[in-house]
Amino acid sequence: MRTQVGIVGAGPAGLLLSHLLARAGIDSVVLETRSRQYVEQRVRAGVLEHPTVELLREVGLAERLDREGMFHEGVSLRFQGVDHRIDFMDLVGRGITVYGQQEVVKDLIARRLADGGDLRFEVSDVALDGLADAPVISYTDPSGVRQELRCDVVAGCDGFHGISRAAYAPEVYDREYPYAWLGILAKAAPTQHELAYANHPNGFALYSMRSPEITRLYLQVPPDTDLADWPDHRIWEELATRLAADGFTLNEGPILEKGVTGMRSFVAEPMRHGRLFLAGDAAHIVPPTGAKGMNLAIADVRVLAEALTDYFASGDEAGLDAYSDTCLRRVWRAEHFSWWMTSMLHNAPDGDAFTRKLQLAQLRYTVASRAAATSLAENYTGLPHRGGIA
């Protein structure tokens, strides 16, 4: 079989790329090793930057997002028991929207199938060949038959553990953090309308939400944490301690899901090898503190879709040649912002009183200086798609 663009991975990056290409009249096939049910239920990020929301609206994918998403005009930095609100609308005139990554995936799958898109779930043994000039993706379909997909271009959107990046040897920049997040989904109505990032002597905590009935909460824990050591009552007690502030109440409820997620920064350069182009987590990982992961993936495929549109329309490869450098400028800006947020808010295991004083000094400066708060707001709500990144 043949198509113009073979896409490995049915996460937000791969699915959105397929949709953008279809709008330009470009054929694609999306291959995914997991089931449709799995990718639609996999709970991941939940913060959409302003440019991400604008793009989804522009391409007709925001009907449910606009109906069910929770628009936030700011966030709070909470330390020493006091809330300090960063007012995004006042500082930069835009906000963010809380809408779960799995909901974005559901919307994308539904739209691609309604439009006749070719999505193939539960494939296995995926392999890439001929990436220099004539790519071939081979795989085993759900019935056990070996298949070959010949294409002009391959988009590797298969995440950090996928096969795409392993098809060549990019230069890798990697940092693992000495802490992790214990995250829960709870059937408990949020008691405030915006996210709160808390710095506490016991460790970081994040107060978030997914809907008017569901809260999403996180605690800083060691990377080797055993969930068995964190029964529900201990989680609620620690959340109440770390999130404490005047006037704040924490609703408790049944915990629907819990898990421990390690934290790392990772970048692979270049994001292109021959006719293979990486996007999203296949090329870069950020610690979740800055809420950048899904937004970076969407920014990548926007650039890639525009470059592929030019290529298939006229043979112009300028956009493809610039793809990696264009994306990496944004990626490294997001890596820095995410590292800065993470180091300011988390307690290092080997930290001392001096380190703690530095953190508090940075937090006080960020909330007291309009310039510093504006920088946080500008980066958190999302840099413009074009311009604004040196």
According to DSSP, the residues that pair with 120 across neighbouring strands are 31
Minimal CA–CA distance to 216: which of 164, 271, 258, 279? 258
| CB-based contacts of 227, cutoff 8 Å, min separation 6 | 182, 258, 259, 260
Minimal CA–CA distance to 100: which of 48, 31, 139? 48
Active-site residue, selected from the candidate residues 51, 135, 287, 288:
288
Say whether 273 is catalytic. no
* CA-atom Rg of the chain in angstroms: 21
Say whether 193 is catalytic. no
Active-site residue, selected from the candidate residues 19, 50, 72, 200:
72
Q: Report which residue type is found at 109.
A: I
Check if the beta carbon of residue 139 is closer than 8 Å to that of residue 155.
Answer: no
Say whether 99 is catalytic. no
Say whether 51 is catalytic. no
Active-site residue, selected from the candidate residues 99, 139, 177, 197:
197
Find the helix or strand (DSSP H, E) in which 217 lies.
Answer: strand 214-221
What one-character DSSP code corresponds to residue 348? Answer: P
229: its two tokens: 């050591």
C-alpha dihedral over 188, 191, 194, 199, to 10 degrees? -90
Mind giving me the DSSP string for 94-129? --EEE--HHHHHHHHHHHHHHTT-EEE-S-EEEEEE
Check if the beta carbon of residue 107 is closer than 8 Å to that of residue 65.
Answer: yes
Active-site residue, selected from the candidate residues 12, 292, 311, 323:
292
Say whether 288 is catalytic. yes
274 CB-side CA count, 13 A: 18
The SS3 of residue 276 is strand
Query: What's the CA gap between 337 and 331, in Å, rounded?
Result: 10
Residue 382's region, left for phi above 0, alpha for psi from -120 to 50, else beta, is left
128: its two tokens: 């890439």
Query: What's the CA gap between 378 and 355, in Å, rounded?
Result: 26
| CB-based contacts of 82, cutoff 8 Å, min separation 6 | 245, 246
Active-site residue, selected from the candidate residues 99, 139, 177, 380:
380
Active-site residues: which are they? 72, 197, 288, 292, 380
